[in-house]
C-alpha cells in the first residue's frame, strides 16, 4: 500500500506543486500588501471632499471591478509591450490593481460605518481632520476591515490560478506541466485542490474567530 502510494501521481506531483504553491503565495501576499495601500488611498479618496480625488478613485474602482482579472493581466502582459513587463511582475500588478479596487470599497465602507459623532468629538478636543482620522476613526475602522480583508486574501489566492495563461509558474500551471507529460490529470488536480484547501480552510477558521473576538 505504501509502495503504491509513493509511486502514485499524488506523491510524485508534490515537488512540482510545492514549487507552484510557493509562487502562488508570493504573488498573493505581495499583491495584497500593495493592493491594501492602493485600496486605502482609493477608499479614502472616495470619501474625500476634493472632487477630483473622489472622481479619480471612483473611476479606478468601477473600471477594475467591472472588468475580469483575466482581461486585466492579459492587457498588462501583452498590451503594454513597450514596457516589457515580466510574467510574475504582470501577475503582481494585476492582483494589486484588482484587490485594490475591492479593498477600496472595504475601506470606504468601514470608515463610513464609524459614527459621525466620533469625528465631531475629535475636532471638539482640538484635533485636526487628519489627526481625527489617524487616531480615532482609522483604528476603529481597521478592526472592521479585518474579516473582509481575509476574504479578499482567499479570493486573490484563487485568482492566481488564471495567471497560467501567461505562463506564470503558479500551482495550477505547474500541475499542467506535470500532467501534460504523465497524463495523470485526475490525481494531479486532486492534489491542487488539496493544496488550496490547506490554505483556505485554516484562513476561514481564523477569520471567523477574529470576527467573533472583535465582535464586528
Instruction: At 123, list the grid cell.
Output: 475636532
The model's pLDDT over 31-68, given as tens digits with 9 standing for 90+, comes to 999 999 999 999 999 998 889 999 999 999 999 999 99
Question: Per-residue pLDDT tens for 132-174?
Answer: 888 888 888 888 898 899 999 999 999 999 998 988 988 998 9
Residue 204 has what DSSP assignment? H
Q: State the pLDDT at residue 87.
A: 92
Kindly state the cell numbers that stand for 207.
Answer: 477569520
Contact status, residue 141 vs residue 5, Cβ threshold 8 Å: no
Inter-CA distances, 30 with 34, 69, 78, 133, 186, Å: 6, 17, 22, 26, 31
3 burial via Cβ count (<10 Å: 0-12, 13-18, 19+): exposed
Beta strands in the chain (DSSP E): none
Judge residue 111's burial from the number of C-beta atoms within 10 Å of its C-beta, 0-12 exposed, 13-18 middle, 19 or more buried. Answer: buried
Q: What is the mean pLDDT of the chain?
A: 88
Rounded Cα distance between 209 and 200, Å, is 14
pTM for the predicted model, two decimal places: 0.88
Give DSSP secondary structure letters for 88-145: HHHHHHHHHHHHHHHHHHHHHHHHHHS-HHHHHHHHHTT--HHHHIIIIIHHHHHHHH
Q: What percentage of residues in the chain have a pLDDT greater than 90?
A: 52
Q: Quick one: the chain helix, strand, coil %, rounded to 5? A: 85, 0, 15
Let me know: does 178 contact 13? Beta carbons within 8 Å. yes
Q: How many domains does the chain have?
A: 1
Which domain does 60 fall in, by range? Answer: 2-214
Burial of 50 (0-12, 13-18, 19+ CB in 10 A): exposed
Taking only the tens place, the pLDDT of each residue in 92-125 is: 999 999 999 999 999 999 988 888 888 778 878 8
**184 in helix, strand or coil?**
coil
* CATH code, domain with 27: 1.10.3720.10
Contact criterion met (CB below 8 Å) for 107 and 39? yes
Amino acid at each position: 500500500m505504501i509502495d503504491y502510494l509513493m509511486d502514485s501521481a499524488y506523491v510524485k506531483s508534490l515537488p512540482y506543486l510545492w514549487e507552484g504553491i510557493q509562487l502562488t503565495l508570493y504573488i498573493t501576499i505581495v499583491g495584497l500588501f500593495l493592493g491594501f495601500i492602493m485600496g486605502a488611498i482609493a477608499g479614502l479618496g472616495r470619501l474625500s471632499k476634493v472632487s477630483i480625488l473622489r472622481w479619480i478613485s471612483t473611476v479606478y474602482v468601477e473600471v477594475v471591478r467591472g472588468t475580469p482579472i483575466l482581461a486585466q493581466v492579459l492587457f498588462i502582459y501583452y498590451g503594454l509591450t513597450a514596457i516589457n513587463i515580466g510574467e510574475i511582475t504582470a501577475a503582481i500588478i494585476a492582483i494589486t490593481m484588482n484587490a485594490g479596487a475591492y479593498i477600496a470599497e472595504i475601506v470606504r465602507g468601514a470608515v463610513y460605518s464609524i459614527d459621525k459623532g466620533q469625528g465631531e468629538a475629535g475636532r471638539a478636543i482640538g484635533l485636526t481632520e487628519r489627526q481625527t482620522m489617524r487616531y480615532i476613526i482609522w483604528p476603529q475602522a481597521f478592526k472592521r476591515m479585518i474579516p473582509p480583508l481575509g476574504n479578499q486574501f482567499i479570493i486573490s489566492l484563487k485568482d492566481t490560478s488564471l495567471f497560467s495563461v501567461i505562463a506564470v509558474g503558479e500551482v495550477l500551471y505547474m500541475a499542467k506541466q506535470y500532467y501534460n507529460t504523465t497524463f495523470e490529470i485526475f490525481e494531479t488536480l486532486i492534489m491542487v485542490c488539496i493544496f488550496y484547501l490547506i490554505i483556505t480552510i485554516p484562513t476561514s477558521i481564523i477569520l471567523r474567530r477574529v470576527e467573533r473576538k472583535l465582535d464586528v
